[in-house]
Amino acid sequence: MWGGGESGYWNRARHAGPACGRVRAACGRAGGACLGQSLSVQTMTEPKISLRLIGDSRTYRPGESLSGEFFVDAADPLDVRAAELSVLWYTEGKGDEDMAVHFFQRIGNDNGQFVDFRRSQQFKTELPNSPLSYDGSLVKIHWCVRLRIFLPRGREVVAEQPFQLGSVPRIRSPLKIPIPHTLPAQPSIKETT
């Protein structure tokens, strides 16, 4: 069903409940999955999440459509209470960290309708004009798709798939302007009478 001939990037994650408190490790913060790597932390009782962005690139232009799909490989499909999918950005670096959600979708088995999360669940959104991804020395702006799966007894499993919005070049170091050691000669001013 998820054959090797398809284009796109996959992120697979298995987590045990509270260990997922700050999920950014899966989005590349603390050595987690990032650009072509897969995150796989195995626990026997947790379902496996597969999250894929459709397309050959992880860089998107403002206004472009971002689409993807996910499924949850759970031993008992009734164990998955709900799934929340978000397309969001967050900052890291000096000062306060910010985060905003651009797109949010909740699909649930907790509202009386059964959803088999073992089948592909698709999503699509048009990306905004800003903020653009940025990898500066003082502040960084990251974009990612976050999928949160709700399980019995308050447990959660989270996977994230990073991507880049726009292409802002990184300034490697401050501009250095040479300062001359001697000042240039000042023109003499002649008084006329």
Per-residue confidence at 51, pLDDT binned at 50, 70, 90? very high
Nearest Cα neighbor of 144 from 82, 50, 20, 60 is 60
pLDDT at 39 over 90: no
Predicted local confidence at residue 118, as pLDDT: 94
Predicted local confidence at residue 76, as pLDDT: 87
Predicted local confidence at residue 149, as pLDDT: 95
Predicted local confidence at residue 40, as pLDDT: 43
Predicted local confidence at residue 56, as pLDDT: 85
Contact between 22 and 133 (Cβ < 8 Å): no
Q: What would the pLDDT profile of 135-163 be if each residue is shown by its tens digit?
A: 988 999 999 999 999 999 899 999 999 99
Per-residue confidence at 46, pLDDT binned at 50, 70, 90? confident
- Written as one letter, the residue type at 167 is S
Contact between 149 and 49 (Cβ < 8 Å): yes
Contact between 39 and 149 (Cβ < 8 Å): no
CATH classification number, 10-165, choose in 2.60.40.640, 2.160.20.10, 3.40.50.150, 3.40.50.720: 2.60.40.640
Q: What would the pLDDT profile of 80-124 be if each residue is shown by its tens digit?
A: 999 999 999 999 999 899 999 999 999 988 777 889 999 999 999
Report the pLDDT averaged over residues 2-6: 34
pLDDT at 54 over 80: yes
DSSP 8-state assignment for residue 187: P
Q: Is the peptide bond before 169 cis (omega within 30 degrees of 0)?
A: no
